[in-house]
A = this chain, B = another copy of it.
Amino acid sequence: MPDTTTTVPAPAAPDFANWSCPLPLRDHPRVVMGHGGGGAMSAELVEHVFAPAFGGPLLASLGDSAALTLGGARLAFSTDSFVVRPLFFPGGSIGDLAVNGTVNDLAMSGARPAYLSCAFILEEGVEMATVARVAQALGEAARRAGVEVVTGDTKVVEAGHGDGIYLNTAGIGLIPAGVDIRAQRAAPGDVVIVSGDIGVHGVAVMSVREGLEFGVRIESDCAALGGLVEAMLAVTPDLHVLRDPTRGGLGAALNEIAVAAGVGVLVQERSVPVPDEVANACAILGLDPMYVANEGKLVAFVPREHAGAVLAAMRAHPLGARAAVIGECVADHPGMVVARTGLGGTRVVDLPIGEQLPRIC
């Protein structure tokens, strides 16, 4: 009997030896620091390299965490690596960041953070006492945040191939019924509220790096925001957007929301709470506080009818005592963030390209 099987040739493998990005990554054939800055270059890397390679509808939503359903449970799932330099800084450490960063990503979907994984990449030669001190800080931060570290991993790389300690955490949380918080839900009319002073973490880390000192001790705002979000959700489950403005600062967070929802954001610049110490340090360094990283702050888009009650609930919480309305969501200039300046003019708050401060978290 003749063989009637049709041979289907396998699809040709992509020619990676001669690979070039289909859309030029601003003509960067090599990775530069800005690709880790949380701005336009980071977004390009995700959009042009990672998303096409990984595929999948969930990743395409590109939030800080993924919302998914497994075994009937609505879960949030998120990950972050931490490469901050130095490992200890005023007000915190890489251990605190590793917990609070991932816990906050989960909380920004309205989830109640529950479990963390923790993976160390240690550089040969790092002092065991330093490892223990970081682990202790991480454990204490987890207990404060009400999450449990349940699984982990340790790798060691040769001296000269790391920077003491790199950390990764991933986290899982449970999203309560009726909660649907994501950037795409920002809607004209929403009131934009920030939970307190901005720019503090970035300036605190910068103040101890490279020998910079600003005369005033500035401590990182690093904190877990799960409790604050719970207090807000107790007012109404119908919060539209929550975002913790870490790398790229408030400016990047507002831009991402404006683009994702196809709305405009109008910020009253005078209403944005910037402590004098941060403003002064930024003036010296030539930085804009709008783009400096925060690690214990959130920005919320709240339906106008709930805004007053949500603001009151935030101010009643220790981590929201200095919460303030900073602007509103508008139908004009979709995809753009515009600030009304103290003098009554307006300026565009762009998505930052690379980063102002590398290795801030």
Q: Are B66 and A75 in contact (CB under 8 A)?
A: no
The bracket for how many chain A residues form the interface is 35 or more
Closest chain B residue to A37 by CB distance? B156
Q: From residue A115, how far is it (CB to closest CB) to chain B in Å?
A: 6
How far does the alpha carbon of A148 sit from the alpha carbon of B14 in the complex, in Å?
21
Q: A65-B151, A73-B73 are in contact. List 16 more A-B contacts (CB 8 A).
A: A29-B129, A30-B128, A31-B126, A31-B131, A31-B156, A46-B154, A50-B135, A56-B149, A58-B115, A59-B151, A68-B115, A71-B71, A71-B74, A79-B152, A157-B166, A162-B162
Q: Are B33 and A66 in contact (CB under 8 A)?
A: no
A-B CB proximity, top 6 nearest: A71-B73, A36-B156, A170-B170, A79-B117, A53-B135, A66-B150
Q: Are B53 and A139 in contact (CB under 8 A)?
A: yes
Checking B37, B49, B68, B157 against A132 with a beta-carbon cut-off of 8 angstroms, the contacting residue is B49
Q: Are A58 and B157 in contact (CB under 8 A)?
A: no
Q: Is the interface of A mostly helix, strand, loop or mixed?
A: mixed
On chain B, the residues within 8 Å of A128 by CB distance are 21, 25, 28-31, 49
Give me 10 A-to-B residue pairs in the complex whose CB atoms sit less than 8 angstroms apart, sorted by A's number: A14-B136, A16-B133, A16-B136, A32-B156, A49-B128, A50-B135, A56-B148, A59-B148, A162-B162, A168-B168
On chain B, the residues within 8 Å of A129 by CB distance are 16, 19-20, 29
Given the known interface contacts A79-B119, A152-B59, the answer about A30 and B162 at a Cβ–Cβ threshold of 8 Å is: no
How far does the alpha carbon of A147 sit from the alpha carbon of B205 in the complex, in Å?
38
Closest chain B residue to A21 by CB distance? B128
